[in-house]
């Protein structure tokens, strides 16, 4: 059946253009038709909510909410909820979405979020390479308790730019995120999520501005993405499994981290994590796993492969004593068991003298650690790098430098 255009369908005072191809239908809901206003001073939140409601309830195979080209829209905190009647729904950002600059706009609302999708299946959030989301987080950073602990009314919680909550079969792609107040992208309670072709940037000094954080989610792919922020490029939280992270450029920032986990003494369950083909430049850490002594549970079946480091502090770390300020005298008899970790093909330069640091618990040792094909050099002329191991058990093959220190 040939493609043909169907006249516009009127929803109240606004329009959605309908296209039919074969047996599938697609409705495009332009937010400008729902009252969105160009500029950074007038709020377009209600217009986007109206467009979303119309798209979500549409009796079509697929619906698209469109932020058109050459438009900048101010959006206050919103949650776009499902389930939707449309079989799939796309949130298309061809223009730019900006956050309010004043933290006061979050009064009497959830201070942790700005843009959120919740309970939507078959969601596609994309910008086709030109869409931009600007968190305009400067005012939040200036009152951060981390950087201004003596400031009266300082804040330890600030909005995440985009949350994807309980959304299955979801993709996020081709968007430039900049200057989130805190974490840029959070994936929580979701399954089968693909993230690709993002650019995420914030100043190196900006507090807690992680690029992507994954929590309580499964079957997640992150690939072909550039991240440079003030915290972890990618961080993996608890109750997470089957995550593939590949072809990432990371820096500045704190590297790619599993954890920290077990801070409240809870049972940790993280498994089947694969990190490969990552270029770290000037980061404070490279790849790391960090757990608190009072935690319990398991981190297992983790692979770090094909990692390149350029002037990186602490290229590889396992730290089961994270947050232990009391030293050995305060050591607990608990711990998260870290097992079956493969570290393969690590190359590049380290600023720190200890390039590989495996600081495992005296009570719950790290087991099944494999070091293979590693050649790290000092970024400082005339110096050599070393390894440090505490209660770390496993095997080494083809490790040129630093000299391995694993126990069998």
Catalytic residues: 254
The Cα diameter of the chain in Å comes to 76
For the record, the structure tokens of 303 come out as: 């692979």
Cis amide linkage into residue 377, ω under 30° from 0? no
Q: Do residues 230 and 253 lie in contact, with contact meaning Cβ atoms separated by under 8 Å?
A: yes
- In terms of phi and psi (left: phi > 0; alpha: psi -120 to 50; beta: otherwise), the region of 116 is beta
Please, which residues have CB within 8 angstroms of residue 64's CB and are 6 or more apart in sequence?
A: 26, 27, 28, 29, 55, 89, 90, 91, 92
Q: What is the DSSP letter of 404?
A: P
For the record, the structure tokens of 364 come out as: 């719950």
User: Would you call 99 helix, strand, or coil by DSSP?
Assistant: coil
User: Would you call 205 helix, strand, or coil by DSSP?
Assistant: coil
Cα 72–chain centre separation: 24
Instruction: Give the number of other Cβ atoms within 10 Å of residue 266's Cβ.
Output: 16
Please report, for residues 23, 129, 130, 145, 340, the alpha-carbon distance to residue 26 in angstroms, rounded to integers and kept in the order given.
Answer: 10, 22, 22, 47, 47
Please report, for residues 123, 215, 239, 325, the alpha-carbon distance to residue 191 in angstroms, rounded to integers and kept in the order given.
Answer: 12, 11, 12, 37
DSSP β-bridge partners for residue 60: none
Give residue for tokens 């729902």: 34
Q: What is the CA radius of gyration of the chain?
A: 23
Regarding beta strands 14-21 and 24-30, do their DSSP bridges make them parallel or antiparallel, or are they unpaired?
A: antiparallel
Decide: residue 205, CB within 10 A, 0-12 exposed, 13-18 middle, 19+ buried.
Answer: exposed
Q: Do residues 274 and 312 lie in contact, with contact meaning Cβ atoms separated by under 8 Å?
A: no
Q: Do residues 198 and 177 lie in contact, with contact meaning Cβ atoms separated by under 8 Å?
A: yes
Residues 255, 228: Cα–Cα separation, whole Å: 9
Residues 255, 284: Cα–Cα separation, whole Å: 7
């Amino acid at each position: 059946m040939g493609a043909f255009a169907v006249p516009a369908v009127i929803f109240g005072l606004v329009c959605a253009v309908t296209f039919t191809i074969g047996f599938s239908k697609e409705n495009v809901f332009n937010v400008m038709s729902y009252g969105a206003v160009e500029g950074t001073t007038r709020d377009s939140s209600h217009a986007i909510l109206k467009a979303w409601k119309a798209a979500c309830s549409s009796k079509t195979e697929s619906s698209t909410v469109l932020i058109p080209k050459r438009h900048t829209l101010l959006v206050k905190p919103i949650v776009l909820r499902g389930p939707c009647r449309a079989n799939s729904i796309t949130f298309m950002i061809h223009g730019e979405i900006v956050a309010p600059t004043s933290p006061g706009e979050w009064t009497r609302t959830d201070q942790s979020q700005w843009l959120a999708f919740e309970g939507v299946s078959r969601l596609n959030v994309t910008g086709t390479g030109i869409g931009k989301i600007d968190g305009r987080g400067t005012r939040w950073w200036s009152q951060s308790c981390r950087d201004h602990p003596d400031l009266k009314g300082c804040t330890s919680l600030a909005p995440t730019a985009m949350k994807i909550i309980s959304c299955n079969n979801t993709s996020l792609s081709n968007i430039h995120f900049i200057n989130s107040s805190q974490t840029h992208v959070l994936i929580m309670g979701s399954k089968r999520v693909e993230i690709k072709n993002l650019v995420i940037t914030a100043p190196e000094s900006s507090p807690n501005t992680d690029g992507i954080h994954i929590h309580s989610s499964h079957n997640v792919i992150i690939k072909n993405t550039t991240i440079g922020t003030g915290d972890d490029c990618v961080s993996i939280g608890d109750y997470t499994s089957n995550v593939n992270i590949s072809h990432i450029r990371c820096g500045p920032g704190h590297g790619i981290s599993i954890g920290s986990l077990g801070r409240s003494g809870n049972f940790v369950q993280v498994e089947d994590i694969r990190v490969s083909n990552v270029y770290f430049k000037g980061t404070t850490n490279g790849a790391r796993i960090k757990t608190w002594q009072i935690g319990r549970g398991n981190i297992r079946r983790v692979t770090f492969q094909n990692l390149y480091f350029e002037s990186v502090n602490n290229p590889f770390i396992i730290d089961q004593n994270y947050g232990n300020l009391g030293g050995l005298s305060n050591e607990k008899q608990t711990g998260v068991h870290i097992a079956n970790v493969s570290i393969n093909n690590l190359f590049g330069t380290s600023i720190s003298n200890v390039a590989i640091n495996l600081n495992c618990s005296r009570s719950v040792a790290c087991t099944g650690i494999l070091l293979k094909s590693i050649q790290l050099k000092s970024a400082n002329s005339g110096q050599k790098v070393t390894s440090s191991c505490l209660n770390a058990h496993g095997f080494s093959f083809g490790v040129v430098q630093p000299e391995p220190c694993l126990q069998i």
